[in-house]
Amino acid sequence: MTKTSRRDVLTAAAVMTAAGMAEAAPAAAQAGQKPIFPVPMVTIPIVGESQVFQVRRIYCIGRNYAAHAIERGSDPNREPPFFFQKPTDAIQNVATGEVADHPYPSLTKNYHHEVELVAALKSGGTNISADKALDHVYGYALGLDMTRRDLQNGMAAEKKPWEIGKSFDHAAVLGPIHPASKTGHFEKGAISLAINGTVKQSSDLSKMIWSVAEQIAKLSEAFELKAGDIIYSGTPENVGPVVKGDVLLCKLEGLPDMSIKIV
């Protein structure tokens, strides 16, 4: 029988321990890695809170008011919901009571406003039922889905993706998030947008084809929704162009006004 020294036993134990740690904790090894440059975290202020809402993804629903669907050439009675995304760094936060400067973007000569209710999620999942969907909503904000309409229409005419018309710097404007625990959930309420004091868009959330709960349910069929996702819930009819110098005033019953100036 071979005699094993105490040193051999300790050495073997150390090797086994190291191997086990390497298998069990690959994440720990990666924790020592550092990015080659910092990427800023995108956040939205929360009313009444020192904490902020960290954004993971921005979803938007298209043509969710019947009259807007008609003006965009669709049949609201038979078209299922469709969605697109914007990059998180497209967000422009607008403080309550502020008229924020909003830069007119490059490449377009037909820049449009779209006022919308925005829902912010605190949790998510897949195949969420509509009757449970609002349990995942942290809060709501008033938003603008800004659109380079000529670029969108041009790409659509060529049957190409029209991301360039929707996904660009400052394209996702919104006010601070208001917790649903304080506001309740928005199923109805007047929503409007005025340019230089003249009302251009005016409707009610009750006229949405797909409610926020139904939007969450439909989205979760295609994507795993998670905390940090926000959903632009669609715009009423009478979208239209803005030019430099225009002041936009957005209103939603139950939330403070939001305003920007095109510069």
E strand segments, the chain: 43-45, 52-54, 57-61, 83-86, 91-93, 99-102, 111-113, 115-121, 137-145, 147-148, 172-174, 178-179, 190-195, 198-204, 229-232, 240-242, 247-252, 255-262
Which CATH number is 78's domain given? Answer: 3.90.850.10
Given a cut of 70, whether residue 234 has pLDDT beyond it is yes
With cut-offs at 50, 70 and 90, classify the pLDDT of residue 90.
very high
Residue closest to 237 by CA, chosen among 71, 122, 19: 71
In a domain, 172, yes or no: yes
66: helix, coil or strand?
helix
Q: How many domains does the chain have?
A: 1
Q: Is residue 238 part of a domain?
A: yes
Percent of the chain with pLDDT over 70: 87
> What global pTM score does this model have?
0.86
State the residue range of the domain holding 109.
43-262
Q: What is the mean pLDDT of the chain?
A: 90
Residue 22 domain-assigned (yes or no):
no
- Give yes or no for residue 223 having a pLDDT over 80: yes
- Is 1 a member of any domain? no
CB 219 within 8 A of CB 210: no
Answer yes or no: is pLDDT of 228 > 50: yes
Residues 6+ apart with CB under 8 A from 185: 134, 137, 140, 212
Determine, yes or no, domain membership for 10.
no
Question: Which pLDDT belongs to residue 122?
Answer: 98
Tokens of 88: 């998180």
| CA dist 239 → 52, 63, 83, 124 (Å) | 31, 11, 18, 31
Q: What is the pLDDT of residues 10-66, one digit of tens each?
A: 444 444 444 444 444 455 456 789 999 999 999 999 999 999 999 999 999 988 997
Let me know if residue 36 belongs to a domain: no
d(CA 94, CA 152): 25
Q: What is the mean pLDDT of residues 172-187?
A: 98
> Cβ-count burial of 119 within 10 angstroms (0-12 exposed, 13-18 middle, 19+ buried)?
buried
pLDDT at 134 over 60: yes
Residues 95-112 have a mean pLDDT of 98
Please give the structure tokens belonging to residue 154.
Answer: 């041009």
Confidence class of residue 179 from pLDDT cuts 50, 70 and 90?
very high
* Lowest-confidence pick of 27-36, 178-187, 188-197: 27-36
Give the mean model confidence (pLDDT) for residues 210-237.
Answer: 97
On whether residue 167 sits in a domain, the answer given is yes
| Domain contains 34 | no
Question: Residue 198: beta bridge partners?
Answer: 195
Confidence class of residue 72 from pLDDT cuts 50, 70 and 90?
confident
Give the mean pLDDT of 141-165.
97
